[in-house]
């Protein structure tokens, strides 16, 4: 049963009303559903319907089965992981993207999509203070962007030979990141054929930032062993605590030993739109490649990962493949983004960025980021002055790591168990959602104030819930 255009119009209006109501009333939902594995699947028929169903039946099941099983990432009590931002203009752009339904692999397959992406990457590069020689492309995720960086580094180093002949015994590459580097780096090193044993995890300092002197020692050691230092992935805003690696010192080491320097700024990179944050890492502009996810902290729906590279030719030579059926007359004049990453087919992702940047303006985005950082700093101060709660890492942005530490409980294992139980209790409340990590082997709770509509008030309310629910100094049930 196909949907007529008239029915589409009517249903779409109903849907948009539901969407606006949802966003308006989000606080009334439990932030995280109280579900057991299989609870949703058991409500879904085991076979597809033989005959088409009415839209009202589908929409009603969406409301009754799917929505109650969703974690509400835009909920004002969501302070878990890193956020996956959306915003009203971004949602509207995604609706248009879905409506047009273009596949944007070549300039020819949608010139506007390709040229808007080019322009958006230029805008973003300038907004973040990256150098003009950087050229950008939107990837689906940071994991993909870092893979693209490692593959480009590998190919450039081998004179683009590994793509042709595979690895030779001489290609004994080593990649370096800190012990706080994201797990996607491990995954990418494996996929790139470098081998997880060749990913060297460099120790961090008391602030969870990579120790540059240890990096240099590791490189010298590897060279002495006949290994080939290929790339360093440094992080601007680690996942566990938003630590900032010493980008300048790492850059100098990379230059000295001819290593590719990729900066993973997936989350905190958005804050580079603030001049005061740029001062924290002035050397970031000298890296070879850089990734930031507007889908994390720049009010843009997942997926949208902005990848910037200095050497466009290294990228295109690594990925370019030109079968007859993809040739176009404009090939030499345009960017065909199918050659700038792994997938051939591409979504039109630049549109939502365009809508977001134009709606907020640079000043509006900067204000939001400043407000989020101010809320993070408020949280830090609150933790510092609350007895029985310990701050576990510096707070450069808007993520605070803490743990409950009742008087007299000094055994670390006991504290880990205690905090794990309290976190379960907090998350069972349905009003707030936080997640955990480990720092120096200790279980700590993370609180991130980076959701699009997070304000000092929502953060204060969230923190009050944490304190109330945890009932400090009482044994959690
Ligand atoms: C620092 C860092 N790098 C990479 C990633 C992976 O991001 P993606 O989901 O875009 O692959 C994350 C995810 O949170 C992250 O925090």
Q: 347: closest CA among 23, 99, 8, 69?
A: 99
Split at pLDDT 50, 70, 90, the class of 474 is: low
Q: 461: closest CA among 415, 429, 423?
A: 429
> Is the CB of residue 266 below 6 angstroms from any atom belonging to ligand 1?
yes
> Is the CB of residue 182 below 6 angstroms from any atom belonging to ligand 1?
yes
Q: Which residues pair with 175 in a beta bridge?
A: 199, 231
For residue 283, how far is its CA from the centre of ligand 1 (angstroms)? 22
Q: What percent of the chain has pLDDT over 70?
A: 99
Q: Mean pLDDT over residues 101-120, rounded? A: 95
Mean pLDDT (the chain) is 96
Would you say residue 392 has pLDDT above 80? yes
Q: Mean pLDDT over residues 417-426, rounded? A: 96
The DSSP symbol for 473 reads T
Helices 456-470 + 412-428 axis angle, to 10: 120
For residue 228, how far is its CA from the centre of ligand 1 (angstroms)? 27
Alpha-carbon span 369 to 382, nearest angstrom: 20
In this predicted model, what pLDDT tens digit does every residue of 128-143 receive, in sequence order? 999 999 999 999 999 9
> Is the CB of residue 216 below 6 angstroms from any atom belonging to ligand 1?
no
Split at pLDDT 50, 70, 90, the class of 238 is: very high
Q: Sort strands 228-235 and 260-264 into parallel, antiparallel or unpaired.
A: parallel
Q: Mean pLDDT over residues 211-236, rounded? A: 98
For residue 341, how far is its CA from the centre of ligand 1 (angstroms)? 17
At residue 291, the pLDDT reads 98
Q: H-helix or E-strand containing 5?
A: helix 5-24
Q: What percent of the chain has pLDDT over 90?
A: 93
Would you say residue 477 has pLDDT above 50? no
Would you say residue 473 has pLDDT above 60? no
> Is the CB of residue 180 below 6 angstroms from any atom belonging to ligand 1?
no
Q: Mean pLDDT over residues 209-228, rounded? A: 98
Closest residue by CA, ligand 1 atom 16: 239
Q: 330: closest CA among 160, 155, 114, 185?
A: 114
- How many CB atoms sit inside 10 A of residue 387's CB? 9
For residue 106, how far is its CA from the centre of ligand 1 (angstroms)? 27
For residue 238, how far is its CA from the centre of ligand 1 (angstroms)? 9
pTM: 0.96
Split at pLDDT 50, 70, 90, the class of 311 is: very high
At residue 282, the pLDDT reads 87
Q: Sort strands 389-391 and 399-404 into parallel, antiparallel or unpaired.
A: antiparallel
Instruction: Kindly list the distances between the CA atom of residue 4 and the CA atoms of 16, 52, 54, 407, 471, in Å, as whole numbers in the listed order.
Output: 18, 13, 12, 67, 56
Burial class, 238, CB count within 10 angstroms (exposed 0-12 / middle 13-18 / buried 19+): buried
Q: Which residues pair with 401 in a beta bridge?
A: 446
Lowest mean pLDDT among 324-328, 373-377, 389-393: 324-328
Alpha-carbon span 65 to 45, nearest angstrom: 12
> Is the CB of residue 293 below 6 angstroms from any atom belonging to ligand 1?
yes
For residue 60, how far is its CA from the centre of ligand 1 (angstroms)? 34
Q: Mean pLDDT over residues 154-180, rounded? A: 96
- Nearest-atom number in ligand 1 for the CA of 141 is 10
Alpha-carbon span 222 to 220, nearest angstrom: 5
Would you say residue 378 has pLDDT above 90? yes
Q: Sort strands 305-309 and 135-139 into parallel, antiparallel or unpaired.
A: antiparallel
At residue 411, the pLDDT reads 93
Instruction: Kindly list the distances between the CA atom of residue 142 and the CA atoms of 134, 290, 296, 369, 378, in Å, as whole numbers in the listed order.
Output: 17, 10, 10, 20, 29
For residue 312, how far is its CA from the centre of ligand 1 (angstroms)? 23
Alpha-carbon span 114 to 91, nearest angstrom: 20
At residue 261, the pLDDT reads 98
> Is the CB of residue 264 below 6 angstroms from any atom belonging to ligand 1?
yes
Q: 188: closest CA among 199, 201, 179, 173?
A: 199
Q: What is the per-residue burial (b if ≥16 Cβ within 10 Å, else e) of 81-115?
A: bbbbbbbbbbbbbbeebeeeeeebbbbebbeebbe
At residue 1, the pLDDT reads 73
Would you say residue 187 has pLDDT above 70? yes
In this predicted model, what pLDDT tens digit does every residue of 393-415 receive, in sequence order? 999 999 999 999 999 998 999 99
For residue 191, how far is its CA from the centre of ligand 1 (angstroms)? 16
Would you say residue 203 has pLDDT above 90? yes
Q: Which residues pair with 391 in a beta bridge?
A: 402
Q: Which residue out of 233, 267, 289, 435 has the highest number of ligand 1 atoms within 8 Å of its CB and is therefore the one to mutate?
A: 267
Instruction: Kindly list the distances between the CA atom of residue 424 and the CA atoms of 88, 427, 445, 470, 476, in Å, as whole numbers in the listed order.
Output: 32, 5, 11, 10, 9
Would you say residue 248 has pLDDT above 60? yes
In this predicted model, what pLDDT tens digit does every residue of 15-29 receive, in sequence order? 999 999 999 999 999
In this predicted model, what pLDDT tens digit does every residue of 113-122 receive, in sequence order? 999 999 999 9
Would you say residue 49 has pLDDT above 60? yes
For residue 72, how far is its CA from the centre of ligand 1 (angstroms)? 19
Would you say residue 55 has pLDDT above 50? yes
Would you say residue 476 has pLDDT above 50? no
At residue 475, the pLDDT reads 52
Q: Which residue out of 81, 84, 142 has the highest number of ligand 1 atoms within 8 Å of its CB and is therefore the one to mutate?
A: 142
Lowest mean pLDDT among 8-12, 242-246, 327-331, 387-391: 327-331
At residue 471, the pLDDT reads 72
> Is the CB of residue 267 below 6 angstroms from any atom belonging to ligand 1?
yes
């Amino acid at each position: 049963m196909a949907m007529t255009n008239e029915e589409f119009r009517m249903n779409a209006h109903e849907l948009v009303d539901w969407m606006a109501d949802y966003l308006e009333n989000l606080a009334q939902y439990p932030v995280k559903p109280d579900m057991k594995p299989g609870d949703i699947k058991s409500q879904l028929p085991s076979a597809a319907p033989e005959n088409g169903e009415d839209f009202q039946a589908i929409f009603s099941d969406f409301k009754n089965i799917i929505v109650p099983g969703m974690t509400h990432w835009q909920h004002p009590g969501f302070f878990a992981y890193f956020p996956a931002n959306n915003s009203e203009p971004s949602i509207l752009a995604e609706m248009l993207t879905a409506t047009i339904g273009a596949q944007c692999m070549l300039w020819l397959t949608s010139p506007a999509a390709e040229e808007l992406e080019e322009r958006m990457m230029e805008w973003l590069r300038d907004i973040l203070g990256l150098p003009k020689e950087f050229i950008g492309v939107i990837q689906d995720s940071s994991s993909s962007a870092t893979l693209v960086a490692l593959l480009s580094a590998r190919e450039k180093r081998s004179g683009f030979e590994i793509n042709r002949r595979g690895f030779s015994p001489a290609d004994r590459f080593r990649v370096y990141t800190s012990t706080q580097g994201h797990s996607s780096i491990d995954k990418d090193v494996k996929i790139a054929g470098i081998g997880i044993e060749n990913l060297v995890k460099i120790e961090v300092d008391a602030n969870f930032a990579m120790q540059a002197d240890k990096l240099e020692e590791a490189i010298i050691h590897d060279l002495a062993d006949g290994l080939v230092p290929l790339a360093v992935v440094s992080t601007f805003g680690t996942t566990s605590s938003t630590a900032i690696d010493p980008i300048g010192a790492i850059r100098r080491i990379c230059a000295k030993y001819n290593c590719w320097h990729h900066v993973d700024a997936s989350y905190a990179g958005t804050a580079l739109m603030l001049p005061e944050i740029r001062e924290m890492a002035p050397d970031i502009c000298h890296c070879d490649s850089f990734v930031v996810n507007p889908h994390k902290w720049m009010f843009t729906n997942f997926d949208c990962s902005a990848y910037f590279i200095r050497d466009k030719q290294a990228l295109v030579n690594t990925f370019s493949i030109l079968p007859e059926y993809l040739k176009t007359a404009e090939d030499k004049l345009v960017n065909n983004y199918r050659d700038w990453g792994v997938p051939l087919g591409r979504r039109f992702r630049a549109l939502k960025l365009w809508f977001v940047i134009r709606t907020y303006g640079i000043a509006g985005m900067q204000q939001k980021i400043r407000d989020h950082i101010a809320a993070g700093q408020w949280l830090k101060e609150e933790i510092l002055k609350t007895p029985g709660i310990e701050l576990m890492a510096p707070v450069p942005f808007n993520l605070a790591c803490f743990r409950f530490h009742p008087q007299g409980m000094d055994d670390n294992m006991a504290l880990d168990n205690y905090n794990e139980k309290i976190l379960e209790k907090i998350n069972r409340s349905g009003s707030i959602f936080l997640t955990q990590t480990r720092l120096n082997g200790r279980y700590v709770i993370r609180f991130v104030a980076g959701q699009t509509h997070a304000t000092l008030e929502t953060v204060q309310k969230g923190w009050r819930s944490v304190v109330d629910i945890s009932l400090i100094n009482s044994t959690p049930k």
